[in-house]
Amino acid sequence: MEILVCVKRVPDTAENEIAIKSDGTDIQRDDLVYSVNEWDNYAVEEAIQIRDKVGGSVTVVTVGDSEAEEVLRRQMAMGADNGILLADDAFEGSDGRGIAAILKAVVAKGKYDLVLTGAQADDGAAQVGGMLAAMLDWPYASLVNKIDTGDKSLKIGREIEGGNQEMNEIDLPCVLSIQTGINEPRYVGIRGIRKVASIEIPTYAAADLGVAADAVGPAAARVKRVDYFTPEMGAGAEILEGSMEEKIDKLIELLKAKGGLK
Ligand SMILES: Cc1cc2nc3c(=O)[nH]c(=O)nc-3n(C[C@H](O)[C@H](O)[C@H](O)COP(=O)(O)OP(=O)(O)OC[C@H]3O[C@@H](n4cnc5c(N)ncnc54)[C@H](O)[C@@H]3O)c2cc1C
């Protein structure tokens, strides 16, 4: 099975204090530590397990700048066979539809049976997988937490309300957005990263993909970000300060004081 997994390089929330720019356009991105979007890590692990079971290959693709190559290498160290970087100044500031349009063009360049995305990324939009499927006119399932492979279709489980599980059969080719917990992503050691350090990763720009530069980017965005801010604290709300241990101690004190803990 030929599998394409869409991965995004995102700020690592465990490693950064995220602050918002004073002009309300974005978060402050200087000196942030980045890693692969958590959901995408599960999607890559799932793709590797499917390939190891039924054969084929796993390609990881990202829309980003040259620094995004590091997440492709990390996923290749994990076991993906190929990486593709989609980089062009014209791609910057795209909305979810723009990102999906760029990814659609790369799907059209290959012969994929299955495309995996994460259920959501750092903007929490959960848009790209569904939009990509619609643009390809392929079937789509979201929040997938189980995949059993078949010949022309897959049996997939979806996480639904109240801890219930739904099972579906979906025709190939299809797009699935993957929920965390579907598997246990393998550890990537430094030796694995060194092994893939010199593999060439092809980079495609808008012209290589046949994507019109004015069909993506901020000018083509139909959802425009107009502000970005931390809301005022509501009455009675309190933000605990200090190290993680200090915050935990203060929280336990508060819960005890309010009768929530004996
Ligand atoms: C400077 C800046 C300006 C922006 N301006 C706007 C704006 O005006 N309007 C607006 O709507 N959004 C804007 N965005 C947000 C941006 O385009 C979002 O990434 C997009 O809306 C999708 O949301 P998400 O990242 O939460 O992805 P989701 O839809 O939640 O992601 C789901 C999955 O899609 C795939 N995916 C997402 N992004 C990528 C990627 N880059 N490469 C490969 N796979 C990917 C991954 O598999 C991911 O798990 C801006 C972002 C930046 C940094």
176 vs 129: CA distance, rounded Å: 7
- Whether ligand 1 lies within 6 angstroms of the CB of 62 is answered as yes
Residue nearest to atom 3 of ligand 1 (CA): 93
Tell how far the Cα of 262 is from the centroid of ligand 1, in angstroms.
Answer: 44
Average pLDDT, the chain: 94
Tell how far the Cα of 170 is from the centroid of ligand 1, in angstroms.
Answer: 26
Q: Of 53-67, 78-92, 108-122, 233-247, where does mean pLDDT reach its minimum?
A: 233-247
Residue 144 has pLDDT above 80, yes or no: yes
Instruction: Give the pLDDT score at 248.
Output: 95
Our answer on whether the CB atom of 27 is closer than 6 Å to any ligand 1 atom is no
Q: Round to whole Å and give the CA distance between 234 and 247.
A: 20
- Burial label for 128, CB within 10 Å (0-12, 13-18, 19+), is buried
Using DSSP, state whether 75 is helix, strand or coil.
Answer: helix
Q: What's the confidence (pLDDT) of residue 22?
A: 86
pLDDT (0 to 100) of residue 104: 98
Q: Is 185 in the pocket of ligand 1 (CB under 6 A)?
A: no
Per-residue pLDDT, averaged over 186-196, amounts to 93
Going by alpha carbons, the residue nearest to atom 34 of ligand 1 is: 128
Question: Using a 6 Å cutoff on CB, does residue 142 contact ligand 1?
Answer: no
pLDDT of residue 14: 83
**Separation of 108 CA from ligand 1 center, angstroms?**
20
Residue 262 has pLDDT above 80, yes or no: no
The residue that leads in pLDDT, 184 or 229, is: 184
Q: Is residue 236 scored above 90 in pLDDT?
A: no
- Determine whether the shortest distance from the Cβ of 63 to ligand 1 is under 6 A: yes
pLDDT above 90 for 18 = no
Ligand 1 atom nearest to CA at 126? 30
In the predicted structure, residue 167 carries a pLDDT above the cut 90: yes
Answer whether residue 79 shows pLDDT above 80: yes
The edge-to-edge listing of strands for the beta sheet with 57-63 is 164-171, 153-160, 140-149, 174-178, 114-118, 2-6, 57-63, 82-86, 203-204
For residues 76 and 61, give the distance between their C-alpha atoms in angstroms, rounded to a whole number. 11
Residue 19: pLDDT band with limits 50, 70, 90 = confident
Which of 3, 5, 8, 67 gets mutated to test ligand 1 (max ligand atoms within 8 A of its CB)? Answer: 8
pLDDT, residue 159, reads 86
Which atom belonging to ligand 1 lies closest to the Cα atom of 29?
53
Q: With 80 as the cut, is the pLDDT of residue 259 above it? A: yes
pTM assigned to the model: 0.91
DSSP letter for each residue of 81-133: SEEEEE--GGGTT--HHHHHHHHHHHHHHS--SEEEEES--TT----HHHHHH
Instruction: Provide the 3-class DSSP secondary structure of residue 59.
Output: strand
Query: Is any ligand 1 atom within 6 A of the Cβ of residue 55?
Result: no
Whether ligand 1 lies within 6 angstroms of the CB of 64 is answered as: yes
Going by alpha carbons, the residue nearest to atom 43 of ligand 1 is 62
Question: Using a 6 Å cutoff on CB, does residue 120 contact ligand 1?
Answer: yes
- Give residue-wise pLDDT tens across range 20-66: 988 888 889 888 999 999 999 999 999 999 999 999 999 999 999 99
Q: How far apart are CA 163 and CA 167, in angstroms?
A: 13
**Phi and psi at residue 138, in whole multiples of 5°?**
-105, 155
Q: Whose CA is nearest to atom 22 of ligand 1?
A: 96
Mean pLDDT of 188-200: 93
> CB of 83 closer than 6 A to ligand 1?
no
What CA dihedral angle connects 115, 120, 123 and 124, to 10 degrees? 150
What one-letter code names the amino acid at 16? N
Q: Is 262 exposed, middle or buried (0-12, 13-18, 19+ CB in 10 A)?
A: exposed
The pLDDT value given to residue 125: 94
Q: Is the CB of 148 under 6 A from ligand 1?
A: no
Question: What's the pLDDT score for residue 239?
Answer: 86
